[in-house]
Amino acid sequence: MTTTIRKCTLQDLQALKEISIQTFDDTFRAKNKPENIDVYLKMTFQSSLLAEELAHPSSEFYFIYYNNQLAGYLKVNTSDAQTEKMDKNSLEIERLYLLSSFQKKGLGDEWMKFAFKRAKELNKHSIWLGVWEKNENAVAFYKKYGFEKVGAHSFYMGDEEQVDWIFSVAL
């Protein structure tokens, strides 16, 4: 098997939109009200917003391919692109997703190694992320890579208040 990671450009907008919607839907629909998920998907993954995110100088999107098939995407932020006020020496993993059929094949490990490598290249001292407390799979995955809970914040999925745990790891 071959695994390739490459940086996304504006040319990838449509593919990025499709994989963003699909992976979010697969991950969260079962544990949420369908109407809340529908609105969230429509608002968050609008082409115009994704295009702005792709153009942001402090955000980077990547695609991962497994045997030349698109398998997932990653979004990392630094400096003012971070979604919380954080240290300028930190890198945020904002989105890290694999399509269901490509999970448990080692690609999560590839993503994590890549994120650590990228953070070091950018001279960052830590990586942080927000993860829904009920996303037990992702919580266990991040703990495996040394992430620890350093805080929490509220997040609204439609009319429902949810808690995201803030996880961080020093490099």
Ligand X SMILES: CC(C)(COP(=O)(O)OP(=O)(O)OC[C@H]1O[C@@H](n2cnc3c(N)ncnc32)[C@H](O)[C@@H]1OP(=O)(O)O)[C@@H](O)C(=O)NCCC(=O)NCCS
**Among candidate residues 42, 45, 104, 46, the one with its CA nearest the CA of residue 71:** 104
Q: Which residue has the tokens 């996304």?
A: 8
Region 12-41 residues binding ligand X, contact defined as CB under 6 A: 23, 27
CA distance 95 to 97: 6
Judged by CB under 6 A, does residue 148 bind ligand X? Answer: no
The least distance separating ligand X from the CB of residue 170, rounded to whole angstroms, comes to: 19
Q: Which residue has the tokens 């992320």?
A: 129
The least distance separating ligand X from the CB of residue 144, rounded to whole angstroms, comes to: 5
**Among candidate residues 148, 150, 153, 156, the one with its CA nearest the CA of residue 164:** 153
Tell me the torsion sign for CA atoms 23, 24, 28, 34.
negative
* Closest CB to ligand X: residue number: 108
Among 45, 63, 128, 141, which residue sits at the site for ligand X (rule: CB under 6 A)? 141
Residue 142 known to be catalytic: yes
Judged by CB under 6 A, does residue 167 bind ligand X? Answer: no
E strands, 38-159, are 59-66, 69-77, 90-98, 126-132, 148-157
Catalytic residue from among 40, 73, 142, 145: 142
The count of residues interacting with ligand X (CB under 6 A) is: 19
Judged by CB under 6 A, does residue 103 bind ligand X? Answer: yes
| Residue 114: strand, helix, or coil | helix
Closer by beta carbon to ligand X, 45 or else 97: 97
Judged by CB under 6 A, does residue 69 bind ligand X? Answer: no
Q: What residues are annotated to the active site?
A: 142
Query: By the criterion CB under 6 A, which residues form the site for ligand X?
Result: 23, 27, 96-98, 103-109, 131, 135, 137-138, 140-141, 144
